[in-house]
Structure 1
Amino acid sequence: MADKLHFELVSPERLLFSADVEMVVVPGAEGDLGVLVDHAPLVALLRAGMVEVHDGGKVTARHFVRGGFAQVTPEGLTVLAEEALDMATTSKAALEAKLQDAQATLEAAADDNQRIAAEAHVAAIKEVVDAA
């Protein structure tokens, strides 16, 4: 379909999402990116945050991703995530458990680099827990 963007979300375990959609918003390392059909090619680093799939004028799917890359080509958008959770099938209890794990990692940080990365991860998960 010429008026739709082909989008795929892939985690190390499996293909999580594949469809033709109107727009996808991804959490880029430098800020959120809205990708529509015929977007210029690019490769972007991702930060922890929410991928939102828009179709029919509304958000139809939400996935939490932690790290990875987004690649836009003439064929569409592919997100290769280090970790991805489908918000439609993830319970609030599972998110709270992830938050506890992230906070433990923060407390165990051995240096400033580990602490900064852990703080960002904790903040992103808190946002997701609040949104769930």
Structure 2
Amino acid sequence: MAEAFKFELVSPERLLVSEEVAQVVVPGSEGQFTMLKGHAPFMTTMRPGVIEVTGQSGTVSRIFVRGGFADASPAGLTVLAEMAVPVQDLKAEQIAREIKNAEEDVADAGSDETKRVAQEKLDQLREVQAALGAPAAH
């Protein structure tokens, strides 16, 4: 098993996770990455998706994040999420609501760039919905 490192997941409401873990898979804006002890330092934005945390015992927990930042350092990994909800606590209505908000952002976009960014977020949320097996929003 991989050596443990400190992982913290913080949302605007509270500190959700603060523990020693074996690895964390993060939905980075440039693609998924896996953090292990000794990872090179870097910071990235995150896209909506699921963080998979493997504990020292090998158990895996999955947490939906709506975006934010991930900061890898020699001290460990800190994730600052816009919103974070354990996957088992997610409700289909919540994902549908997120998609509806993203659809409104696309419709209300004032520039091509704003519309592109909003559409990208909408597409990512739909991918999350499909991956979680939630019914599609209409």
CA contact (8 A) 2:45 2:70 kept: yes
Q: Distance in 2 between matches of 1:86 and 1:32?
A: 18
Task: Give the match for residue 47 of structure 1.
Answer: 47
Task: Give the match for residue 128 of structure 2.
Answer: 128
Q: Distance in 2 between matches of 1:17 and 1:92?
A: 23
Q: Distance in 1 between matches of 2:84 and 2:113?
A: 23
Gap regions ≥5 residues in structure 1: none
Q: Distance in 1 between matches of 2:101 and 2:29?
A: 23
Aligned residues: CA RMSD: 1.8
Q: Distance in 1 between matches of 2:77 and 2:92?
A: 28
Task: Give the match for residue 8 of structure 1.
Answer: 8
Percent identity, aligned pairs only, is 41
Task: Report Cα offsets for 1:62-109 as digits up to 9, x if no partner.
Answer: 222233211112221100122222212111121112111211221121
Higher strand share: 1
CA contact (8 A) 1:61 1:88 kept: no
Say yes or no: does 1:82 pair with 2:79: no
Deviating 4+ runs (over 4 angstroms): none
CA contact (8 A) 1:47 1:66 kept: yes
**How far is 1:57 from its partner?**
4.6
